[in-house]
């Protein structure tokens, strides 16, 4: 398989399948595109019809959108979703919520892996953080089985929230200690550390 991604410092969507594939030890070739280069959209259209990243290429098949890629990968590595039916349903639901929600967090705190700053928390961002930390706590209590991840073992749900963990660190966002512990767990994954190192070698665009 081949995974087409964007700049590692900024492309939150790319981090999700990349991290899942690395943790699941799924072999793939990486194609990295500079999202800020001249003609970048035309280059992305060579790989997928949406003109966006990530795109997973498997033979003649192109799968775009991180949710669709997650489902496709789980057919090869079923453990990327929880084994329990109820837990699996909730894991899919929280991934979908992350995929479509948390607008203030996305807008005010775009992913920037090596940024370190502090921002003012307005009502919209505060509401997103409250929902986020409640979601994490609920998943870990109901399905975490005492493990460090949301559903016990690492799953797509953790991969989907890894970019959020970078935002919490980058912008100094206040979260409860239990949520901070989860952030620290994600940011200490060997696969994430490799991503972070490679991101540090890229040119900055912000």
Q: Do 99 and 179 sit in the same domain of this protein?
A: yes
Give the residue from 77, 112, 136 where a domain finishes: 77
Q: Are 155 and 175 in the same domain?
A: yes
* 85 in the same domain as 112: yes
The DSSP bridge partners found for residue 3 are 30, 56
How many domains are there within the chain?
Answer: 2
Given 77, 102, 126, the domain boundary residue is 77
User: Are residues 178 and 161 located together in one domain of the fold?
Assistant: yes
CA 49 to CA 92: how far, in whole Å? 24
64 and 105 part of one domain: no
- The tens place of each residue's pLDDT in the chain, 206 residues long, gives 999 999 999 999 999 999 999 999 999 999 999 999 999 999 999 999 999 999 999 999 999 999 999 999 999 999 999 999 999 999 999 999 999 999 999 999 999 999 999 999 999 999 999 999 999 999 999 999 888 999 999 999 999 999 999 999 999 999 999 999 999 999 999 999 999 999 999 999 87
State which of 14, 46, 77 marks the end of a domain: 77
Tell whether 200 is covered by a domain. Answer: no
If asked whether residues 154 and 171 sit together in one domain, one would say yes
Pair (35, 97) in one structural domain = no
Residues 95 and 167 in one domain: yes
Q: Does residue 100 lie in a domain region?
A: yes
What pLDDT is recorded for position 206?
78
Does residue 20 sit in the same domain as residue 110? no
Do residues 30 and 65 both lie within one domain? Answer: yes
What domain range includes position 65? 2-77
Residues 70, 115, single domain; the answer is: no
In 3D space, the residue among 37, 36, 58 whose CA is nearest the CA of residue 47 turns out to be 58
Domain identity same for 96 and 153: yes
């Amino acid at each position: 398989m081949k995974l087409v991604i964007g700049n590692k410092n900024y492309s939150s969507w790319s981090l999700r399948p990349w991290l899942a594939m690395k943790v699941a030890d799924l072999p793939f070739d990486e194609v990295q595109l500079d999202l800020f280069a001249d003609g970048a959209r035309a280059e992305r259209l060579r790989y997928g019809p949406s003109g966006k990243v990530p795109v997973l290429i498997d033979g003649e098949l192109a799968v775009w959108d991180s949710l669709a890629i997650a489902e496709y990968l789980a057919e090869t590595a079923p453990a990327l979703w929880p084994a329990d039916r109820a837990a699996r349903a909730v894991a899919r639901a929280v991934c979908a919520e992350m995929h479509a929600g948390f607008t203030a967090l996305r807008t005010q705190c775009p992913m920037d892996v090596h940024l370190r700053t502090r921002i003012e928390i307005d009502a919209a961002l505060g509401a997103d953080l409250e929902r986020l930390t409640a979601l994490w706590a609920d998943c870990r209590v109901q399905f975490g089985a005492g493990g460090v991840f949301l559903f016990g073992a690492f799953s797509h749900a953790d991969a989907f929230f890894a970019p959020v963990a970078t935002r919490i660190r980058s912008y100094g966002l206040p979260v409860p200690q239990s949520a901070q512990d989860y952030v620290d767990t994600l940011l200490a994954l060997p696969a994430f550390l490799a991503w972070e190192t490679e991101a540090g070698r890229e040119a900055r665009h912000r």
